Amino acid sequence: MSMRIGMVVLGMSGLVGAATRPAVPPVGSGVEAIITIDSVGSRGVMLGAIDNDARVLVYADGPARVGVGVAPPADLQDTLRLDRMSALTVDVTESDVHVELVGEQLPATATIAIGGSVTGGPASRVSATGRHLLLLKGGQGIRLLAPAVAR
């Protein structure tokens, strides 16, 4: 009987610890949230083609670091304008980072697809397909945002 009670108490204390664990490490804690995008693609658009104006924009809502290809992450000073999808290493410790497909002549079905791993955050992998993808601050995951509608 006492063995059963001990197991229940142990199980409950584990639940309490999991419930109170912060989802995002506090800023300045020394833990970086890095999303490594190693799976990329596009559908309905030929990125890098001479006859179109399609670009992939990478920008942040605050301080962020981004590395393109095999380059290590560097401070993102301005919007990156990529003419093709490439592997990315993105530090999302302090802010969300947008990855957005833009172009005046894009077909309605044009999308980009990204996927990769997360270190230092609650998510372990991310993947999404769309025109406007948001890598979430603290390595919490990825979200699909609706594209802006031209009026």
The pLDDT profile of the chain, 151 residues, written as one tens digit per residue, is: 444 333 333 333 333 322 333 454 454 556 799 999 999 999 988 887 766 788 999 999 999 999 999 999 999 999 999 988 899 999 999 999 999 999 988 888 999 999 999 999 999 999 999 999 999 999 999 999 976 555 4
Tokens of 94: 């302090």
pLDDT value, residue 108: 87
Check if the beta carbon of residue 64 is closer than 8 Å to that of residue 112.
no
Supply the pTM of this predicted model: 0.78
Q: Which amino acid is at 108?
A: A
Check if the beta carbon of residue 90 is closer than 8 Å to that of residue 66.
yes
Cβ atoms < 10 Å from Cβ of 144? 13
Query: Which residue from 17, 25, 18 is spatially nearest to 120, judged by alpha carbons?
Result: 25
pLDDT value, residue 147: 62
Dihedral of CA 67/68/71/75: which sign? negative
Distance of alpha carbon 101 from alpha carbon 42, whole angstroms = 9
Query: Which residue from 120, 116, 125 is spatially nearest to 137, judged by alpha carbons?
Result: 120
Tokens of 30: 């020394």
- Order of all β-strands in the sheet with 125-130: 74-75, 65-68, 88-91, 34-43, 111-119, 125-130
pLDDT value, residue 111: 94
